[in-house]
Amino acid sequence: MITYENEKDGLIAIESEVQGIKNLVMGIADPILIIEQFIFNVKSNQPEIYKSLLKKNRDIIHGAFVLDDSGRKIIFRNTIELEGLIINDLESTLNSLGLLLSEYSDELIKFSKN
């Protein structure tokens, strides 16, 4: 479900309760589509959290965990080339995120509390 749309800036926010996705932001930065889902804030510098997230990145088929510019926000991010974009590309990203959130939720909740 689309919760926000700004055609001028090329931004859309969506959510899917079924997949645990809330306020996922998609933005066009030609020639790519950037997809980002805020996951949690890092409360203190804990290398074991970063190490665990980097290890988990190996298992993620589409997208990866990243830090924002402040180094405090953990975000799921994927980029897709706009040329030749098909709906399956977007669905694959959303399915990957949904699976990640369902399989890794206990760890993410624990990390968000530290």
Q: pLDDT tens digits, residue range 18-43?
A: 877 889 999 999 999 999 999 999 98
| Residue 73 near residue 67, CB atoms below 8 Å | yes
The beta strand positions in the chain, using DSSP E, are 2-6, 11-16, 21-29, 32-41, 64-67, 73-81
Work out the pLDDT band at 111, boundaries 50, 70, 90.
Answer: very high
- For the chain, domains (ranges, CATH) are 2-113 (3.30.1460.10)
pLDDT tens, position by position, 39-81: 999 988 889 999 999 999 999 999 999 999 999 999 999 999 9
Distance of alpha carbon 68 from alpha carbon 98, whole angstroms: 21
Q: What element of type H or E holds 95?
A: helix 87-113
Nearest-angstrom CA–CA distance, 82 and 49: 33
pTM of the complete model: 0.89
For the purposes of burial, counting CB atoms within 10 Å of the CB of 77, is it exposed (0-12), middle (13-18) or buried (19 or more)?
middle
| Cα 112 from Cα 114, distance rounded (Å) | 6
pLDDT at position 27 is: 96
pLDDT at 85: 84
pLDDT score of 86: 86
* pLDDT tops 80 at residue 12: yes
User: What's the mean pLDDT when you consider all of the chain?
Assistant: 92
